[in-house]
């Protein structure tokens, strides 16, 4: 059974703690709030939808057979790629308008960290929309 403690000890490394996710997410949300671009909500909503899709695929992974995983792997990779593209788009618009997208540098470019952060964003979105 998966636990947060086992995640923190995962052999693949590139762990991002809940505390670090909270810091990055807070900076991201604040920078989007400060952004004055008219279509910032569209970019934000795209990001939220993409993290939800990616998280859905990752959550199914545990219960899939090897054959199902092989069939779903390309879709998972594509979903992961669009999350990264969406994050990079948010960083560019924030940097251009607000001048500070340090949250993107803090997150880094490691795919595992970004994927884990996407799951955290879906978690925050889910519990905030009771």
- Length of the chain equals 130
pTM, two decimals, is 0.93
Predicted confidence (pLDDT) per residue in 12-54, tens digit? 888 999 999 999 999 999 999 999 999 999 999 999 999 999 9
User: CA 78, CA 81: separation in Å to the nearest integer?
Assistant: 5
Report residue 128's pLDDT band, with 50, 70 and 90 as the boundaries. very high
Percent of the chain with pLDDT strictly greater than 90: 88
Nearest CA to 87 out of 117, 128, 62 is that of 117
């Amino acid at each position: 059974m998966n636990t947060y403690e086992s995640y923190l000890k995962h052999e693949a490394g590139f762990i991002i703690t809940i505390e670090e996710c909270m810091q990055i997410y807070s900076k991201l949300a604040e920078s989007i709030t400060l952004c004055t671009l008219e279509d910032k909500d569209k970019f934000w909503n795209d990001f939220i939808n993409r993290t939800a899709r990616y998280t859905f695929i990752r959550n199914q992974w545990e219960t899939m057979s090897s054959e199902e995983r092989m069939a779903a792997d390309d879709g998972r990779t594509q979903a992961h790629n669009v999350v990264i593209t969406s994050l990079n788009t948010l960083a560019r618009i924030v940097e251009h308008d607000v001048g500070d997208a340090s949250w993107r540098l803090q997150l880094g470019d490691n795919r595992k960290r970004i994927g884990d952060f996407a799951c955290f964003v879906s978690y925050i979105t889910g519990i905030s929309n009771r």
